[in-house]
Amino acid sequence: MAILDQLTSQQAIDLENKYGAHNYHPLPVVLTRGEGVYVWDIDGKQYYDFLSAYSAVNQGHCHPKIVNAMVQQAQTLTLTSRAFHNDMLGKFEKFACEFFGFDKLLPMNTGAEAVETALKLCRKWAYEVKGISENEADIIVCENNFHGRTTTIISFSNDPVARKHFGPFTKGFIKIEYNNLEALEIALKNNPNVAGFLVEPIQGEAGVYVPSDDYLIKAKALCELYNVLFIADEVQTGIARTGRLLATCGNCTCETKNCSDTPDVKPDILILGKAISGGVYPVSAVLANDSIMKVIQPGNHGSTFGGNPVAAAVAIAALEVVRDEKLAENAYQLGNLFRSELQKYIDKSSIVKLVRGKGLLNAIVINDDEDSETAWNICLALRDNGLLAKPTHGNIIRFAPPLVMTKDELLDCVGIIIKTLKQFE
Ligand SMILES: *Cc1c(COP(=O)(O)O)cnc(C)c1O
């Protein structure tokens, strides 16, 4: 078959199965086009995207402003490597530092790379500033975390599927229960070698676990007390997803007035990815103030593509869209509406236990065994009814539409979801 021949859905799936490694288990739907909150499959059927590429497409599919910035820059200069300067990187760094309230930014490409960067930065700070003896630095992480797929990152995962037969693993990580301040204090108290605490403000992959309102601020205070860096992985929660610019929100320029439900926390190290490009191009970043970032010197760390001019142009445009279209505010309003509408149904439902989340990062927990197929089957039925979502660990379905959604569209989606769930009662 010629490369430009239009495939049927089955042909596209067969090609992936035959020639692609089987490292994912996609929902059987083959998408060919996207615009805003919608995607279309090969047969022209339209769907609401309720995953947004794991919260990368917060600005909506193929946002014209972001795509235009990419096309313009791609026709001008795409890659210089960091062997030379380019005239876009500094603009991006300034924009993002001012936007999120930090002194400096280190650009990478994927979320996992940014997490790796943050871990290296934290350890180097521990040896050179805090004064921990060489090779002794520990980093505290949380159970059921998801921070990416590199060997070091899976070293502190507790998902057997992600870890099995990939060892030996990287040492120096201490795992504690999420949303447990006592566990954090114990881990900090008797160990002078702790360099950092790495945490997701909401555990997305684990099933959208929202910690108690005072968890992050008290965890940050404990970190300060023990001179330990508070590292926020906002790859999924960041950039307006949870109804504020950052789920931690300390010092950022978010104009929503909704930050009062959770106190502001300023991380020492902020990790961003996914929506920093609106899903148009792989861009990630680590932000920190000078007192920390100063430990990184030429040759310590880098990436051929990190900080390339296309990434810089795309990221500036993507962040401008978040600001100009007030996406944090919209996510806040629509998130409250989504949960309250679903709650009315759940009060009478036997198939759904609960809905939880913040802004437009939400999940429902299905009332069935962890290893049953119910969540998967509901997602197949949602697909048939025109809405795409995916189960996450156990019997949980995450709902994370693009943040450019309107109220009418959201209510339409709530209707589809409830209609579908009723088929399973
Ligand atoms: C997706 C994700 C990552 C990894 O990002 P990749 O771009 O897939 O490497 C890291 N942390 C969190 C919280 C994520 O959701």
pLDDT, tens digit (0-9, with 9 covering 90-100), for 261-289: 667 899 999 999 999 999 999 999 999 99
Q: How far away, in angstroms, is 27 Cα from ligand 1 center?
A: 20
111 lines ligand 1 (CB under 6 A): yes
- Same-domain status, 70 and 17: no
Q: Which ligand 1 atom is nearest residue 112's CA?
A: 9
- Same-domain status, 312 and 343: no
Best probe residue, ligand 1, of 51, 208, 274, 390 (max atoms within 8 Å of C-beta): 274
Q: CA 47 to CA 25: how far, in whole Å?
A: 19
Average pLDDT over residues 364-371: 89
- Same-domain status, 120 and 261: yes
Which two tokens mark 35?
A: 């615009």
Q: CA 8 to CA 43: how far, in whole Å?
A: 8
Q: Phi first, then psi: what are they for 209, rounded to 5°?
A: -85, 115
pLDDT interval class at 249 (50, 70, 90): confident
End-of-domain residue from the set 307, 324, 341: 324
Q: Are 136 and 193 in contact (CB under 8 A)?
A: yes
Question: Is a pLDDT exceeding 90 seen at residue 63?
Answer: yes
CATH of the domain at 298: 3.40.640.10
54 lines ligand 1 (CB under 6 A): yes
DSSP letter at 126 equals: I
pLDDT interval class at 258 (50, 70, 90): low
Omega before 391 cis (within 30°)?
Answer: no
pLDDT interval class at 2 (50, 70, 90): low
Q: How far away, in angstroms, is 72 Cα from ligand 1 center?
A: 28
Q: Measured in whole angstroms, how far is the alpha carbon of residue 17 from the centre of its chain?
A: 27
- Same-domain status, 290 and 418: no
- Same-domain status, 339 and 355: yes
Chain segment 70-85, per-residue pLDDT in tens: 999 999 999 999 999 9
Q: Are 125 and 229 in contact (CB under 8 A)?
A: yes
**Which amino acid residue places its CA nearest to atom 10 of ligand 1?**
147
DSSP of 107-124, one letter per residue?
Answer: EESSHHHHHHHHHHHHHH
Q: How far away, in angstroms, is 196 Cα from ligand 1 center?
A: 19
**Which amino acid residue places its CA nearest to atom 6 of ligand 1?**
111
Q: How far away, in angstroms, is 62 Cα from ligand 1 center?
A: 21
Question: Is a pLDDT exceeding 70 seen at residue 254?
Answer: no
User: How many other C-beta atoms can be found within 10 angstroms of the C-beta atom of residue 328?
Assistant: 28
End-of-domain residue from the set 266, 289, 324: 324
- Same-domain status, 186 and 168: yes
Q: CA 277 to CA 312: how far, in whole Å?
A: 9
Q: Are 421 and 346 in contact (CB under 8 A)?
A: no
Chain segment 180-213, per-residue pLDDT in tens: 999 999 999 989 999 999 999 999 999 999 999 8
Question: Is a pLDDT exceeding 80 seen at residue 253?
Answer: no
Residue partners of 6: CB distance under 8 A and separation at least 6: 42
Question: Is a pLDDT exceeding 90 seen at residue 259?
Answer: no
Q: How many separate domains does the chain show?
A: 2
- Same-domain status, 306 and 339: no
> Which pLDDT score is estimated for 394?
73
Average pLDDT over residues 112-121: 98
- Same-domain status, 72 and 122: yes
49 lines ligand 1 (CB under 6 A): no
- Same-domain status, 244 and 130: yes
Question: What is the reported pTM?
Answer: 0.97
56 lines ligand 1 (CB under 6 A): no
Best probe residue, ligand 1, of 146, 234, 246 (max atoms within 8 Å of C-beta): 146
> Which pLDDT score is estimated for 1?
58
End-of-domain residue from the set 300, 324, 348: 324
What average pLDDT does the chain have? 95
Of 325, 160, 326, 163, whose CA–CA distance to 257 is shortest? 326
Q: How far away, in angstroms, is 235 Cα from ligand 1 center?
A: 6
Average pLDDT over residues 27-37: 98
48 lines ligand 1 (CB under 6 A): no
pLDDT interval class at 370 (50, 70, 90): confident
- Same-domain status, 42 and 109: no
> Which pLDDT score is estimated for 252?
55
**Which amino acid residue places its CA nearest to atom 8 of ligand 1?**
111
Strand partners, 361: 358
- Same-domain status, 221 and 164: yes
275 lines ligand 1 (CB under 6 A): no
- Same-domain status, 79 and 224: yes
- Largest pairwise CA distance in the chain: 65
Q: Phi first, then psi: what are they for 375, rounded to 5°?
A: -60, -45
CATH of the domain at 331: 3.90.1150.10
pLDDT interval class at 260 (50, 70, 90): low
Catalytic residue list = 146, 233, 274
230 lines ligand 1 (CB under 6 A): no
Question: Is a pLDDT exceeding 70 seen at residue 251?
Answer: no
* Angle CA 394–399–403, to nearest 5: 155
Which two tokens mark 17?
A: 């199965």
Q: How far away, in angstroms, is 147 Cα from ligand 1 center?
A: 5
pLDDT interval class at 256 (50, 70, 90): low
Residues spanned by the domain of 301: 65-324
